[in-house]
Amino acid sequence: MAERRLAVVSGASSGIGAATAHALADAGFAVALGARRVERLHDVAAAIGPAASALPLDVTDQASVDAFCAALDRCDVLVNNAGGAKGLAPVADADDDHWRWMFETNVMGTMRMTRALLPHLRAGGDGHVIMVGSIAALEPYPGGAGYNAAKYGVRAMTSVLRQELLGEPVRVTEVDPGMVRTEFSEVRFEGDAARADAVYAGMTPLSAEDVAACIAFAATRPPHVNIDSMLVMARDQYGAQRVHRRDRGGS
């Protein structure tokens, strides 16, 4: 039997990353899962079965990225999903640590993983880098500056990479979700569950599985087809700032 192609998913211990690992395994890939919360990661891998392996990964730490990547003997798809937001403060009150976290995780982390795995992606003859961006990469909103800047950065990197790899057998895709019910808002508001719940009040957000299905769709096109970008939002959301909330008659 032919060896399964390998998909690497960063940030696979929860949310979109965990759902993507499931979706890609269902699509026939072997999946290598990375994140910092190793127990959670092992639970996700165990639920997938023998096609999944789990390894500790902190994308903000070059030594951790090196160790993770050294354990892989191939990589056909890289899903740069590890990321998130911290805070919703206006620029006037910007928190340096929050901004650093967002840049280190979303931007530098994506660069580190891509740089490390490009040799495998090229060598396999049909590589694919998939970035998990955001509507925040397309539309700035008050309080979002740090996250907007980081995801705009990811978007710029995606476009540059696509051009740099033109003519090589490596595809580059960005999937930009709107509101998705994951641990994203708990992380953004540092464990404030009530504030996180309020984000989704009265509307139906996307699920992690909805976004994973888009990622799997892009990853399962024939090698000559590059889905450059995909913006996916809940029916209840238009752009970064307009959400229809049934309990308030829309906003």
**Which are the catalytic amino acids?**
147
The site map against ligand NDP for 36-55 (x = CB under 6 A) is xx--x---------------
Q: Which two tokens stand for residue 16?
A: 């979109």
Q: Does 30 bind ligand NDP (CB under 6 A)?
A: no
Q: Does 177 bind ligand NDP (CB under 6 A)?
A: yes
Q: Does 144 bind ligand NDP (CB under 6 A)?
A: no
**Member of 10, 114, 148, 158 binding ligand NDP (CB under 6 A):** 10
Q: Does 110 bind ligand NDP (CB under 6 A)?
A: no
Burial class (CB in 10 A: 0-12, 13-18, 19+), 226: middle
Cα angle for residues 242, 218, 62 (degrees, 5° grid): 90
- Smallest separation, CB 37 to ligand NDP (Å): 3
Q: Does 170 bind ligand NDP (CB under 6 A)?
A: no
Residues 109, 102: contact at Cβ < 8 Å? no
**Member of 184, 189, 219, 236 binding ligand NDP (CB under 6 A):** 184
Give whichever of 121 and 196 is closer to ligand NDP, judged by the CB atom: 196
Q: Does 57 bind ligand NDP (CB under 6 A)?
A: yes
Q: Does 7 bind ligand NDP (CB under 6 A)?
A: no
Q: Which of residues 68-97 bind ligand NDP (CB under 6 A)?
A: 81-84
**Member of 132, 138, 170, 212 binding ligand NDP (CB under 6 A):** 132
Minimal CA–CA distance to 104: which of 38, 149, 72? Answer: 149
Q: How far apart are CA 181 and CA 237, in angstroms?
A: 13
Cα angle for residues 100, 104, 109 (degrees, 5° grid): 170
Q: Which two tokens stand for residue 61?
A: 């730490």
**Member of 21, 69, 130, 134 binding ligand NDP (CB under 6 A):** 134
**Member of 6, 8, 11, 240 binding ligand NDP (CB under 6 A):** 11
Near ligand NDP by CB under 6 A, which window of 117-125, 165-173, 182-190, 240-248? 182-190
**Member of 7, 25, 31, 35 binding ligand NDP (CB under 6 A):** 35
Please state the φ and ψ torsions of residue 13, each to the nearest 5 degrees. Answer: -85, -10
Summarize as ranges the residues that interact with ligand NDP (CB under 6 A): 10-17, 35-37, 40, 57-60, 81-84, 105, 109, 132, 134, 177, 179-180, 182-184, 187, 208
